[in-house]
Amino acid sequence: MTDLLTIGETMVSLRTARPMRLGGDAHLSIAGSESNVAIGVARLGHQAAWVGAVGNDEPGRLIQRTLRAEGVDTSRVRFSDESFTGFIAFDQPSHDITRVSYHRRGSAGSTVTADECIAALEATRPRLLHVTGITPALSATTRAATLAVVQNAFAAGVQVSLDVNYRARLWSRSDAATALRELLPHVHTVFSSDDELDILTDAPDAVADLLDAGSVDQVVVTAGGKGAWAHTASGTIHRPAFPVTVVDSIGAGDAFVSGYLSATLDNLSADSRLDRATTSGAFCVTATGDWESLPTRPDLTLLTHTQGTALR
């Protein structure tokens, strides 16, 4: 039995420390919201599986190898001879601004089917299923796959979490609202930034509406440097952001989610879930990369030390 199952597209990533048009050295890695969460959960000591499709090419093999090395189960990954592995490029036109370019239209990741996802759900029997608003934005096929796996997981008694993760380059807010609201009757935990809540509901009090209607029993809202809030029927808990030096904010949301889901798997209290989530998010922003600086379980206490401390 797997602790966490997640589905989505993982891409090869290229990063430069200056505008890419100037050339120079680039760092090669992988990136994908759902696989970032799987890596984060695996590093914290849980069994995580990722389902997706990649091209039958060297970039696809890099993704498989990297996830395997991080302890993520990739046994349900499909290698496609018809489609390519997508990639994403990050460059920095300014020292504190990251620019993102996608090269994914028609990629293997956009061909993941409902049958594949349901088969993975039945094979892994996860305690948690995690999906994002990115996957249903990729194609009609992946939208149907996301809805089907969420419905089947919910019917099987699996806890389902949804991270809105809105991407304006993939679809409009109205299209996102239509698709994600279809998922809500089968979701237990919602992760959203404070400016994404209106995608899920038109109600003036979005959090109250989500908690009052359907199956959602936790609404976790992030607001960058202002911290995060966990809302349940029992009340609201807030945690400020950790006072760390931000090097790269890309992937912080996925890190936050991985910490929260890890604590959920450990049956921790709402306070402790939010503590682990903010700690994991803080680790992510202190170094470059989507997932590279995610903490292991022994790392979780390191941020209690004063910055600059040498542990000898």
Q: What residues act catalytically? A: 254
Hey, which bits of 16-62 come out as E strands? 27-31, 48-51, 53-55
Between CA 279 and CA 304 the distance in angstroms is: 10
Instruction: For residue 164, give the nearest of 217, 200, 215 by alpha carbon.
Output: 200
In the sheet with 97-103, reading across from the earlier edge strand, the strands are 27-31, 11-15, 87-94, 97-103
Cβ contacts of 79 within 8 Å, gap of 6 or more: 53, 54, 55, 56, 60, 108
Furthest CA-CA distance within the chain: 54
Strand partners, 6: 50, 130
Q: Report phi then psi at 132, rounded to 5.
A: -130, 170
According to DSSP, residue 303 is labeled G
3-state SS of 201-249 is CCCCCHHHHHHHCCCCCEEEEECHHHCEEEEECCEEEEECCCCCCCCCC
Bridge partners, residue 48, by sequence:
4, 72
Per-residue burial over 130-163, b = 16 or more CB atoms within 10 Å of its CB, e = otherwise: bbbbbbbbbbeebbebbbbbbbbbbeeebbbbbb
Residue-level length of the chain:
312
